[in-house]
Structure 1
Amino acid sequence: MLGHDEERPWRVAVYGTLRSGCSAGELMAPLVTVREDDTVLAGRLYDTGRGYPAFLPGEPPDDGARGVPAEVYVLRQPERALPVLDRYEGPDYARRVFTLRDGRRCWVYVWTRPVTGMAELPWGWCRL
């Protein structure tokens, strides 16, 4: 039998409004047990103009390439937390499993619509 990390990760990586200090960061508190080391997701982030960003996965950043800064959290009860996060993210996002550069596997919400005309956010969503 596969463990959670192989089958269904216990972690989630957040890059936008769910990050600590951002507009919906408090939503994470009852859903997680601990914040792990932050990461940089392979891909690009865009400003939707609606108060939240759009993440599109891409090639892993090399030493000089940019990526998307994200916080990594361990979910308290994934089977209860993920439906809450799915509702929050809404129909414009799909939850996907990502393997981070350090081997950790986690859920990431990926934008499913076009980004035509959206400004890229090279430094991430919230500058803290």
Structure 2
Amino acid sequence: MTDDVQPAALDPEDAKIITLARSARARNGVPEGAAVRDETGRTYVAATVALPSLRLSAVQVAVAMAVASGAKALEAAALVSDAEQVADADLAAVRDLSQQGTHVLLAARNGDLRTVVPVG
């Protein structure tokens, strides 16, 4: 895990998925927003699902959307949340499709990157 990553060092494609995750969170008024980028560069954006019969984190929804669309691997995932760390279940979902270099970016509500977690 790498803390206090400087925004200038952030890859533009990683910055893009943080922005998309942040937008999903704000647009839907939910605790978390997430976005994942697959091996072809396609992105999938999701928000927390909290129904009486179904509860999924934003990362889990984004990974499920990628799989349902035919993604074979993920390059990166971004999570915008108040959480101090990425949940184990979220890391496991990303790890299921990880390849060498896959990472999860954890950002605050304002989009500031807090942590990068390598999973592949």
Normalising to structure 1: TM-score of the pair?
A: 0.24
Between Structure 1 and Structure 2, the one with more helix by share is 2
> RCO (CA 8 Å, sep 6+): is it higher in 1 or 2?
1
Normalising to structure 2: TM-score of the pair?
A: 0.25
